[in-house]
Amino acid sequence: MDNDKNDKRFSATTPGKRFMKLAGMSASIAGNFAKNRIKGALGTLTEEERMREREQLFSQVGEQIANTLGEMKGAVMKVGQIASQFKDVFPKEIADALAKLQKESPPMPFAVIERQIRQELGKEPSEIFAFIDSKPFAAASIGQVHRARTHAGEEVVIKVQYPGVDQCVESDLKHLRFALKMAGVLKVDKAMLDAIFDEIRRSLVDELDYVKEAQNVREFAAFHASDPLIVVPRVFDEYTATRVLTLAYEPGDDIRQVQAPRYSQEMINTLGHRLVSAIGAQIYSLHAVHCDPHPGNFAFRTDGTLVIYDYGCIKKIKPEIVAALRRSTRAAISENYAELDQALISLGVRNVEHAPHMTADFYAPWVGIVHQAFSETPFNFGTATLHEDVMRLARRSLKHWEAFRASPDTMLVDRAIGGHYWTLKQLGVNTAFRDALHKALDLKAA
């Protein structure tokens, strides 16, 4: 009976029921916005009070969206996780609230996991594996991971997708977009929003196909094969299907364990370089980048090895976008702001209809912040406040923000790069990355 109750609690509900939940959320949010507008129309609030009311409203709305998506799991929760990375699509307060969706989800009952394995692989789990740990190794929005052992004695991990998640992607995205539009919290025009949601949809569909993820794993393993200190787990094809992926167990230390005395500062710096070089090589040589910078997707070893897990969210980058990224980065390094502006237009992140040209006065402070992270002298990420500098500068630059927009070609790449700032910060890396950046920019296509 307990398992039946848990199955009902965690199973994907029908698209209709999910729509009603999202519609209820949007109606509540729209009501809150209407009350706020009425209060503002009365003219009794000062400008400072209006800003404070706005921030409080967006914080409340963000909490409401995050709580609703977190309860629903599946595609909408995954969208919420992605959205938390993009403050140019959502107001900052809402993106901050959505960030809590990055935390690990409650696990699915093991009976459901066994049933999925049986349905996908066509055999009883006990026929395939000598042992499966009923306690999940990790649990996320669309699936969870369990340690296991094959009958041949090989240690593996099994990634199992939650039942019904793939059936609700289209309706979840459609209804979530409608709910957010009704709530009035999206900051981009319809054409760009269409492109962004198309990109999110593509990413989700790819993530739900574990056969495709297995292909990604093999591609990245081959790409990094020349560096024995970058480990990509091996795929067990015979135990892999659309909703079940089996990989070799590759242990490593969690990011929270990477500290003295187990790791010296020199080794921490080495691991930081290995991570930055790997991401740079993926972008500029492989033209495909691992786009989920969640710390749980990376593990570390005391000999300097970097282990990279989870290849569901991979962004294939068009050659012309790689060229524009290279061009914009080189322009920023050389402080050629006219060239930087043109490169950003090529990337699709500059809205020339709002402002045909942006001046050096606008770009210089932003480039100054980036220069710190990629300087020629050591930079201490552990004590860095670049994120605070960015927010302060963003507030001073509000009147220029309509000159920029999110781009579906770069938003997942930005997610990877921006996310790893926090990885370097949590590791406490204290080193110089300018040479590593130049090496990445000089790489040719693989």
54 in a domain, yes or no? yes
Which sequence positions are flagged as catalytic? 292
Question: What does the alpha-carbon distance between residue 50 and residue 43 come to, in Å, rounded to a whole number?
Answer: 10
Residues 143 and 246 in one domain: yes
pLDDT reported for residue 209: 94
Structure tokens at 221: 């393993």
Residues 259 and 394 in one domain: yes
321 in a domain, yes or no? yes
Contacts of 363 (CB under 8 A, 6+ apart): 337, 340, 341
Which residues in the chain land under pLDDT 50? 1-12
Structural domain harbouring 70: 2-102+169-186
Residues 222 and 286 in one domain: no
Question: What does the alpha-carbon distance between residue 398 and residue 84 come to, in Å, rounded to a whole number?
Answer: 20
pLDDT in tens, 307-338: 999 999 899 999 999 999 999 999 999 999 99
215 in a domain, yes or no? yes
pLDDT reported for residue 185: 59
Query: What stretches of 86-209 show up as alpha helix (H) in DSSP?
Result: 92-98, 110-121, 125-128, 169-183, 190-207
Residues 416 and 323 in one domain: yes
What one-letter code names the amino acid at 23? Answer: A
Q: What single DSSP character describes residue 390?
A: H
Distances in Å between the alpha carbon of 349 and those of 38, 321, 407, 423?
A: 35, 11, 5, 25
Residues 261 and 364 in one domain: yes
Query: Among candidates 65, 445, 106, 396, which has minimal Cα distance to 288?
Result: 445
pLDDT reported for residue 136: 92
195 in a domain, yes or no? no
Please list the residues that pair with 155 across neighbouring strands.
149
pLDDT reported for residue 10: 40
Domain CATH for 155: 3.30.200.20
Please list the residues that pair with 316 across neighbouring strands.
288
pLDDT reported for residue 104: 57
How many folded domains does the chain comprise?
Answer: 3
pLDDT reported for residue 59: 79
Q: What single DSSP character describes residue 292?
A: -
Distances in Å between the alpha carbon of 57 and those of 33, 50, 63, 67, 183?
A: 8, 10, 10, 15, 12
Residues 281 and 419 in one domain: yes
197 in a domain, yes or no? no
pLDDT in tens, 380-402: 999 999 988 988 898 888 788 88
366-404 b/e (C-beta count within 10 Å ≥ 16 → b): bbeeeeebbeeeebebeebeeeeebeeeeeeeeeeeebb
192 in a domain, yes or no? no
Among 250, 274, 305, give the residue marking a domain's end: 250
Tokens 């042992």 found at:
131
Residues 74 and 140 in one domain: no
Residues 398 and 305 in one domain: yes
pLDDT reported for residue 220: 98
Structure tokens at 85: 């990375």
Residues 34 and 127 in one domain: no
Residues 336 and 437 in one domain: yes
- Whether the pTM exceeds 0.85: the reply is no
Among 233, 250, 267, give the residue marking a domain's end: 250
302 in a domain, yes or no? yes
Could you tell me the maximum CA-CA distance found in the chain, to the nearest angstrom?
A: 75
pLDDT reported for residue 249: 97
Secondary structure (3-state) at 13: coil
278 in a domain, yes or no? yes
pLDDT reported for residue 194: 77
Secondary structure (3-state) at 8: helix
Residues 173 and 238 in one domain: no
Residues 94 and 122 in one domain: no
